[in-house]
Chain A
Amino acid sequence: KQEVTQIPAALSVPEGENLVLNCSFTDSAIYNLQWFRQDPGKGLTSLLLIQSSQREQTSGRLNASLDKSSGRSTLYIAASQPGDSATYLCAVIGSNDYKLSFGAGTTVTVRA
């Protein structure tokens, strides 16, 4: 069974600082990996999707890397803003069953 771990569980930084969110998974047989953002009381918004053959994806201030062999992904958020405050979820899609397995998330607070 795929196990996804996110470290740290919570993070508080001053505005302008770069954010580094870590995700690890136990089974390297993945189809792709997806990062989501969830605001309190809201649904999940997709941030980045990395195919298993890719090493990274970028969108604006966001960059996500993938090292499938070591079972790790990292989400970088440059020059953080208070609007980046949210919970960030890492999810892995299995190559055999296409099921999405989630980590517990990292809750980010960016202080103005």
Chain B
Amino acid sequence: DAGVIQSPRHEVTEMGQEVTLRCKPISGHDYLFWYRQTMMRGLELLIYFNNNVPIDDSGMPEDRFSAKMPNASFSTLKIQPSEPRDSAVYFCASSSPPHGYTFGSGTRLTVV
């Protein structure tokens, strides 16, 4: 298996633009998680899905953030409009109990 695949690896965008991050989980995993990592706040859980259904989105910072999982092999995290304070590394992870989490390589987002 190729692991959890995220794209793009790097994204530089101007403030106010829409940003879409993509994730392909490991086949057969029924949980998918989106995390954000910054120096100040460490790793924060944004939202997670179980069997393509959003279970907890309490970590989504505000309405500018949205996430979807239209099928078991694809998820998106969208920021619209983007702001400089959204600059961070965004990780996607998938899992299937009793196994642990597998993380993707992350998307480094810079909003200027």
Contact = CB atoms under 8 A, between A and B. Distances in A.
Interface in A28-58: 31-32, 34, 36, 42-46, 49, 51
Interface stretch (B13-21, B66-74, B92-100): B92-100
A31 B97 contact: yes
A60 B97 CA distance: 24
Interface residues of B, number: 22
Contacts of A34: 100-101
Q: Which among B43, B50, B91, B99 has the greatest number of chain A C-beta atoms within 10 A? A: B43
> How many of chain A's residues touch chain B, expressed as a range?
20 to 34
A49 B50 CA distance: 21
A46 B91 contact: no
Interface in B74-112: 91, 93, 95, 97-106
A44 B91 contact: yes
A93 interface: yes
A104 B42 contact: yes
Interface stretch (A10-18, A64-72, A94-102): A94-102
Given A31-B97, A98-B97, A100-B33, A46 B102 contact: yes
24 contacts: A31-B97, A31-B98, A32-B100, A34-B100, A42-B105, A43-B103, A43-B106, A44-B103, A45-B103, A46-B101, A51-B98, A93-B101, A97-B55, A98-B50, A98-B95, A98-B97, A99-B45, A99-B56, A100-B45, A100-B93, A100-B101, A101-B45, A102-B42, A105-B42
